[in-house]
Amino acid sequence: MSETDKVFAGSIPENYDRYMVPLIFEPFAADLARRAASLSPSAVLEIAAGTGVVTRALAPKLSTSASYVVTDLNQPMLDYAASQQGPDSRIEWRQADALALPFEDAAFDLVCCQFGAMFFPDRTSGYREAKRVLKPGGHFLFNVWDRLEENVFANDVTNALARMFPNDPPRFMARTPHGYHDTALIRSELEDAGFSRVVIETRAEQSRASSPRLAAVAYCQGTPLRNEIEARGAGELEAATDSAASAIADRHGRGEIAAKIQAHVIMAVV
């Protein structure tokens, strides 16, 4: 993973929330919130909260006495998440590095993370930190994307950009969001970090957009893929977005579109 893969700045947080969240994140956020709430946690830590799609889904499901600490490494993303959340005295917003969590041992009974583990520079260290801050018997609940080929629009965009930049194709989607899909590796790294009873479920959902253009804007302008495209030259962002939109339209039509997205949902117990 390159350093630019972790940069969610400028207009990316707003575009991410406006386009990417409804396109691919909302269905899995609802799933994660349902699973988290079923555990009836009293002290929750969310890691890599992004623009707060899980926070918005989970907070209403928690008890009135629960505490909910919401963190992200990127302050612009966290600021945007807080701006989208109604007043809630149970929620504390805090910038935090998943590999060096600023919390005491055994402080939480649930740690959750939606599509963040792929960005950890050292996943086993991140998992050890999650285990450290969990109480005995606590749960670590998170999800990661399955391979690129199982996520149709992301694959369409990646292939379109490879045709546009054949000598230096932008590979952010394959490298980072969809680069951590080996379930045997995930299980092994969790066990190395000290977790037991690791359960992994592969879940498919539908990604929907009102137009191919919207899906193209989501991927090209609402993720760090934008940084990779812009690094290839002035004016390339709009051209790349147009190319991605055309590729999606050619395959899925020019009106409302839908295609498969797929992820692994992991529950690990201390």
Give the model confidence (pLDDT) of 90-126 as tens digits: 999 999 999 999 999 999 999 999 999 999 999 999 9
The pTM of this model reads 0.92
Contact 260, 150 (CB under 8 A): yes
Whether pLDDT at 10 is above 70: no
**Domain range spanning residue 149?**
3-269
Q: How far apart are CA 179 and CA 261, in angstroms?
A: 15
pLDDT at 13: 75
Q: How far apart are CA 91 and CA 255, in angstroms?
A: 40
Total tally of structural domains belonging to the chain: 1
Tell how strand 257-269 and strand 134-145 pair up.
antiparallel
Cα dihedral sign, 109-69-72-53: positive
CATH number at residue 238: 3.40.50.150
Give the model confidence (pLDDT) of 203-259 as tens digits: 999 999 999 999 999 999 988 899 999 999 988 999 999 999 999 999 999 999 999
pLDDT at 201: 98
Residue 171 main-chain phi, psi, to 5 deg: -120, 20
- Looking at residue 116, its amino acid is G
Q: Kindly write down the DSSP assignment for every residue of 26-87, as one continuous string.
A: HHHHHHHHHHHHTT--SEEEEES-TTSHHHHHHGGGS-TT-EEEEEES-HHHHHHHHHHSPP
Give the model confidence (pLDDT) of 148-194 as tens digits: 999 999 999 999 999 999 999 999 999 999 999 999 999 999 999 99
User: Band of the pLDDT at 1, cuts 50, 70, 90?
Assistant: low
